[in-house]
Amino acid sequence: MDDGLSGILKDLQAIVEQTIPSLPIEELSAFVEHYFSRRDQYLAILERHPTPVYILESSVLKERARRFQNAFDQVLPRLTYYYAVKSNNHPDVSRALIQSGFGLDVSSGVELEMAVDLGSRDMVFSGPGKTDQELSLAVKHADSVTVLLDSFGELHRLENIASSRRRNIKAGVRLTTDQRGLWRKFGIRTEDLPAFWKEAQQCTYTRLSGLQFHTSWNLSPRAQIEFLNHLGKALRSMPPSFREAVAFIDIGGGYWPTQGEWLQKAGTPAGRLQTALGKEAVSAGTHYRLPSTCIETFAEQLGEAIRTEIFPVVPCRICLEPGRWICNDAMHLFVSVVDKKAPDLVIADAGTNAIGWERFETDYAPVLNLTRPSVCERPCHIFGSLCTPHDVWGYSYWGEDIRAGDILMIPTQGAYTYSLRQNFIKPLPPVVVV
């Protein structure tokens, strides 16, 4: 057999043998029962605000903020919290978190303008490819903005802009956590930090005083701890002048909600292979879960790594940038059944342009029939009303039956859904804040 073909077959076998744990029915049922228990509250809101609509629960945001802060406050001193605006950019999300003592992590001039308009007094401006116009906006608000630089070129452009306005600006530099593939896009290599510090020392108006890194999709703190270990070694090799200048280290966000990542069969490795082979990978009765670590364990393990690897070298302030973990459970989508075309096929009054992508072909979110509630899941293709077959809300619903006019709830859609919504065919649902 050709060596190349043999290697491919081995890879395919490894994919097939890779198992993803199933989502425990007890946990799923408890999740569904929790939202059915609040059914009357949601239906009362929907009497005044018909579907399709997002409902944003400010009390959930503030509770999540308190829990996140409490977890880390128990294990580390001198902490600053920044909400990652990109995860849900509705102004009332940021407003609630400012009230909870958070700063804002913004990634564009648009987000920075919103943060300023909301009255935020502490913002970090991150992200690659900042334009001169965006850097000028940061300099304009230099009393409340720290620019997290992404490159040598960005350092020099910020210095030129700050110099032209004769305004000092606080800055940090992002370190890339993966020097291969797509993540090369972000930050500078740790090996380039000495050269970056040397050039920053030549700047008159840009005050480099911190570092930032970010790992994403953190189901556990493993990747963050690995980089903290790497960073501790790098800091030990830096000159004393640099270590004395470091006032903060921002360890980013990416914390996954405690319930883990819920998947359809098509979202598993075997399901993706099945789809690639042209076979449908739908199994409405079975769901899968990649488990995640609770935030208290995140805090405990990250706190230990920081106290061991960072504080002996640089006893600085630690910054955190949670986004998904804070807002995921605070926003829900409500739609209605417009048409029942078959016993196992219905069309809703909103399309998945409301969440921005074909998420539920691979991700699993329970669809709850608030009109006919039951803690029993029944198979049914639930489509949106867009003119595309990929407009899927789910392959099942929780309820006694499903009929035209029924109100359906897709809970916990607060993270990377509203921000990704797009104007495509159908209008976007409004937001009701409670």
pLDDT in tens, 281-334: 776 678 999 999 999 999 999 999 999 999 999 999 999 999 999 999 999 999
In tens, the pLDDT along 113-124 reads 999 999 999 999
- Split into its structural domains, the chain has a count of 2
Residue 281 lies in a domain: no
Please report, for residues 39, 202, 259, 335, 348, the alpha-carbon distance to residue 411 in angstroms, rounded to integers and kept in the order given: 12, 52, 13, 11, 16
Count CB atoms within 10 A of the CB of residue 49.
15
Co-location of 113 and 141 in the same domain: yes
Co-location of 355 and 234 in the same domain: no
Q: What is the pLDDT of residue 286?
A: 87
Res. 280 pLDDT band, cuts 50 70 90:
confident
Residue 116 lies in a domain: yes
Co-location of 162 and 226 in the same domain: yes
Q: For residues 265 and 282, is the Cβ–Cβ distance under 8 A? A: yes
Residue 414 lies in a domain: yes
Residue 279 lies in a domain: no
Residue 277 lies in a domain: no
Residue 273 lies in a domain: no
Percent of the chain, pLDDT > 90? 88
Co-location of 35 and 84 in the same domain: no
Residue 115: closest CA among 125, 104, 126: 104
Co-location of 99 and 125 in the same domain: yes
What residues make up the domain containing 134?
58-259+292-327
Q: What is the DSSP string of 320-382?
A: E---HHHHGGGEEEEEEEEEEEETTEEEESS-GGGTTS-GGGTB----EESSS--S-EEEEEE
Contacts of 176 (CB under 8 A, 6+ apart): 183, 184, 186, 187, 188, 189, 190, 213
Co-location of 67 and 94 in the same domain: yes
Co-location of 73 and 25 in the same domain: no
Co-location of 160 and 41 in the same domain: no
Co-location of 122 and 191 in the same domain: yes
- Put simply, whether the predicted model's pTM sits higher than 0.85 gets the answer yes
Residue 365 lies in a domain: yes
In tens, the pLDDT along 343-390 reads 999 999 999 999 999 999 999 999 999 999 999 999 999 999 999 999
In tens, the pLDDT along 381-418 reads 999 999 999 999 999 999 999 999 999 999 999 999 99
Co-location of 105 and 238 in the same domain: yes
Q: For residues 126 and 174, is the Cβ–Cβ distance under 8 A? A: yes
Q: Which CATH number goes with the domain that contains 429? A: 2.40.37.10
Residue 406 lies in a domain: yes
Q: Which CATH number goes with the domain that contains 214? A: 3.20.20.10
Co-location of 65 and 208 in the same domain: yes
Co-location of 320 and 379 in the same domain: no
